Amino acid sequence: MAEKTRTGGCLCGAVRIEASGPPTRVNYCHCRTCRKASGAPVVAWVTFPAAKVRFTPEPAWYRSSEKAERAFCARCGSVIVWRSFADPEHIDVTTVTFDQPDDPELKPVDHLWMDAKLSWFDVRDELPRYHEFRKGPRVK
């Protein structure tokens, strides 16, 4: 059976993306860097093996911290991916980048970096919550 391929792209359509196979993680991130890069109070990410993700053409890359880099469309500025230097075998794609973001396999399963969550952002779901990146105990 052929692997499922998801397609998507940036706001203006200049950069297209294809991701094949099942995601390895899907989560919400509340960290300050994700918020600043996206202009949103939280970002939903879906992780795939980097070898299963292709861009047409290659997006622009920016080293956003000592730990990671982000890719975006050089024309419209849409944030497309995040990649950790510690785990180059995986790449996180913004869920809303996909043409069909309502796919049930793209639904987040937890919240990360809750210590950085904006005080006025009210999270009402019952998903697991972590202080940082799934380190230590969950937030109560």
Q: Which domains does the chain carry?
A: 5-116 (2.170.150.70)
Closest CA to 28 of 102, 103, 130: 130
Residues ≥6 apart with Cβ < 8 Å to 109: 25, 26, 27, 127, 128
pLDDT for residue 135 is more than 60: no
pLDDT for residue 14 is more than 80: yes
* Residue 85 DSSP class: T
Confidence of residue 140 (pLDDT cuts 50, 70, 90): very low
pTM above 0.85, yes or no: yes
Classify strands 60-63 and 5-9 as parallel, antiparallel or unpaired: unpaired
Mean of pLDDT values over 109-129: 95
**pLDDT value of residue 138:** 45
Residues ≥6 apart with Cβ < 8 Å to 135: none
**pLDDT value of residue 139:** 45
